[in-house]
A and B are shown apart, each in its own frame.
Chain A
Amino acid sequence: MQTLTDEQLVERIKVDEVRGFAHLYHRYKHRVYAYCYRLLRHPQNAEDATQETFLKIHRSFQQLENPASLQTWIFSIARNEAFTILRRVKPVEELEKAENEVWEEEGPLERIVERERAEVVQRCLSLLKPAYREVLILREYEHLSYSEIARVTGASESAVKSALFKARKAMGVKLDSMMNERDER
């Protein structure tokens, strides 16, 4: 059962809905949760987004046109759920203003206090604007190709390439300054 491809899993769900869906859930639950968590930076919101994602997958399973694109379909649903919550937390204007800005505004509570590099990287990622954060998450953690990221986000491949470059560059600069700051303390 573990060796089923996504296409075979889709067929399985058509034959045995309950077991097939449970299999799909167990295959993707940690990835979807991690993706939502990294986007939302909030455990409860990430759990809500993950739950909604799977319920939506269940409700709209018939809308999946190509079984081979199951993974990108799941992530695009998760993305919509996560952004719905993000919009609830922050108004749309705030999320979309200053397209060329890479960083979100840093509040007093978001100042860096962590000592470990891994935590600094995580904090740094969480300070990126969602549009940059999501491409970096999909590439670095989910290992999606540019075309798959484009399908998930609805952007063009060249836009994905450009966003990844900007995000990495900004992350590199920010990380260096944070690590230097930490070393000076």
Chain B
Amino acid sequence: MTGGERRDLATGLAFISPWIIGFLAFCAYPVASSVWFSFCDYSVLSPAVPIGAQNYIDLANDEVFWTALWNTLFFSAVAIPLGILVALALAILLNFDIPGRGVFRTIFFLPSLVPMVCLAVLWQWLLNGEVGLLNNVLNVPLEALNALLGTSLAAPNWLADARYAKWGLVFTVVWGVGNAVVIFLAGLQDVPRHLYESAEIDGAGFWQKTLHITLPVLSPVIYFNLVMGLIGSFQVFAVPYVMTGGGDGPERSLLFLATYLYQNAFDFWNMGYACAIGVILFLLILACTLVLRSLSERHVHYAGK
């Protein structure tokens, strides 16, 4: 290393030193000690006692943990694709040359600004089984259908019914999709105009252009939103926690991995067990991200950058 290189290294490290300290204190150290604590009996109040893989064995036999894991996977599998689909559709619609585009963009974006606690309280109210706005809207077509066919369809009592509670949560995700809309819309500006023009000359319609031009060009942005959505929905906590009044919903239908981790850590002071859940949560995110990455290498199209 030359003197100049050594000086650059020292300057570079000096500039990033706040991050290095933060990384060690708030990421590397906690991740390492989470792994260590996951093999311990630990309550913060007394020193950790190593107990081998006992926490993991207990987790494997813990029905509540499996419920939380299933709920997290189910919720992610529904909410992430649905959110991306809605965001993509709205962005493509907004990309048309129509009056009031700016107003529409603001309207779709606003809900994503709503603080999570407000959002949870508001949707608890909207999803109310009897007087909630959503069911009052849904009941109009349902009653018409009932009158016509003699059926007795009714909108569910979302958050009070274990079968529908997670769908109630999915609504809140779809409503808050504005961030992704803005990102997609920005990505759409990068689609070269001439591609559309030559496709039109070849007689391609809207769907063909979307499928063969828009989606391939947008694929890096879709990938980005998938990864972000994955990390976000695997750690979902605040909205279901607040919606259920600090609980986990009927028949634990709104118990997620982060909720169960929180309960073990701060309700039962079973910190070692909580860390084991954390380690599994982290490995899940890691595994899914790696799978997405390998998929992206095959399907994501990066314009010659």
A, B from the same assembly: no
Chain B residues in the interface with A (C-beta under 8 A): none
